Amino acid sequence: MKLNLNIWRQKSSKDKGHFEKYTANDVTEEMSFLEMLDVVNEDLILSGKEPVAFDHDCREGICGSCSMVINGDPHGPEKSTTCQLHMRSFKDGETLYIEPWRAKAFPVVRDLIVDRSAFDRIITAGGYISVSTGNAQDANATPIPKMDADEAFMSAACIGCGACVASCKNASASLFVAAKTSHLGILPQGSVEQKGRVKKMVAQMDAEGFGACTNTGSCSAACPKGISLDNIARLNRDLLKSNF
Ligand code: FES
C-alpha cells in the first residue's frame, strides 16, 4: 500500500520546526510502523536527503523509547508502543501526521526525538529503595498478599515512554510518578521510605515543568501498558499522608 506522510522536521530544540510531506510506497501490512519509517529513510538517504530522526531501541515494546504522535494519538491508533504497531492498522492511501511528544518538559532534540531525561531526574529524586536488604532472600521469607503482589507488578509494567504526558492536556506526569511510587510503596521493602519518596518525586515532577493532574484520564487511555488511574489516587493519598 501507499501512504501520504506529513512528518515533523526540526533540526534542534532552537529550530521552529515544520511538517514535510513524504510518500511511503510498497508498504506491506506486516511491516511495523518503525520498519515503514526505515523504508522512508532509506529512500531519503539514497536521494541524498537527511533521514528522519526517531528514537528506538528494543523494538519489542519494552524500552519505551519509540515515542511519536500519529494522527493525534501517542503511539498511534492501537493500544501498543509504536514499534509494536503494524501497518495493517492503516488503509491504502491514508494520510498520516507524525509528530514528536508535545510537552515543555520534553524538549525536541531533533525531528521526532524528544529529551525525556526529566523522567530520569524524577526517578533519581526518590524512585529507589535505599535500605540494605542483604542477600537475596528465599522467595517465601516475606509473605506478600497476592493482591498486593499483582498490583505492584501491574504498576511496575510502566516503561516510562511518556505517552501519558503526551496525551494529557496539562502535560502532567502524574501517571508515570504514580506508577513508580506505587510499585515500590505497595511492597513491604519499599513502603518504609514511601512518605519521603512521594514528596521528593512530586516536587521534582513540578520542578521539571510538568502540569497538574485534573483527572481527565487520557493518560491511562493512551498508556500502552494499561497503567490504571488507581495509581494516581494512591499517589494523592500517599502525598496527603506524607504531611502527617
Ligand atoms: S523501541 Fe522499545 S518500546 Fe518501542
Three-state secondary structure string covering the chain: CCEEEEEEECCCCCCCCEEEEEEECCCCCCCEHHHHHHHHHHHHHHCCCCCCCCCCCCCCCCCCCCCCEECCEECCCCCCCHHHCEHHHCCCCCEEEEECCCCCCCCEEECCEECCHHHHHHHHHHCCCCCCCCCCCCCCCCCCCHHHHHHHHHHHCCCCCCHHHHHCCCCECHHHHHHHHHHHHCCHHHHCCHHHHHHHHHHHHHHCCCECCCCCCHHHHHCCCCCCCHHHHHHHHHHHHCCC
**Are 13 and 108 a contacting pair, CB within 8 Å?**
yes
For ligand 1, is residue 64 a contact (CB within 6 Å)? yes
**67 CB within 6 A, ligand 1:** no
Ligand 1 atom showing the smallest separation from residue 224 Cα: 3
- Ligand 1: nearest atom to the Cα of 82: 4
Question: How far apart are alpha carbons 181 and 199 in whole angstroms?
Answer: 10
Residue 101 Cα, ligand 1 centroid: separation in angstroms? 15
Q: Is the CB of 162 under 6 A from ligand 1?
A: no
Instruction: Tell whether ligand 1 has an atom less than 6 A from the beta carbon of residue 35.
Output: no
Does this model's pTM top 0.85? yes
What pLDDT was estimated at residue 42?
A: 96
pLDDT tens for 20-60 read: 999 999 999 999 999 999 999 999 999 999 999 999 999 99
- Given the CA of residue 161, which atom of ligand 1 is nearest to it? 3
β-bridge mates for residue 20, sequence order: 7
Whether 236 has a pLDDT exceeding 90, the answer reads yes
Q: How far is the CA of 136 from the centre of ligand 1 (A)?
A: 30
Contact 117, 173 (CB under 8 A): no
Q: What tens digit of pLDDT does each residue of 170-216 get?
A: 999 999 999 999 999 999 989 999 999 999 999 999 999 999 999 99
The Cα–Cα gap between 82 and 206 comes to 28
**Given ligand 1 and candidates 36, 65, 80, 113, which is best to mutate, with the most ligand atoms within 8 Å of its CB?**
65
The continuous run of DSSP H or E covering 70 comes out as: strand 69-70
- 3 state SS of 95: strand
Per residue in 53-74, pLDDT tens?
Answer: 999 999 999 999 999 999 999 9
Q: Which atom of ligand 1 is nearest to the CA of 57?
A: 1
83 ligand 1 Cβ < 6 A: yes
Domains of the chain by start residue, with CATH: 3-110 (3.10.20.30), 117-241 (1.10.1060.10)
Residue type at 181 in one-letter notation: T
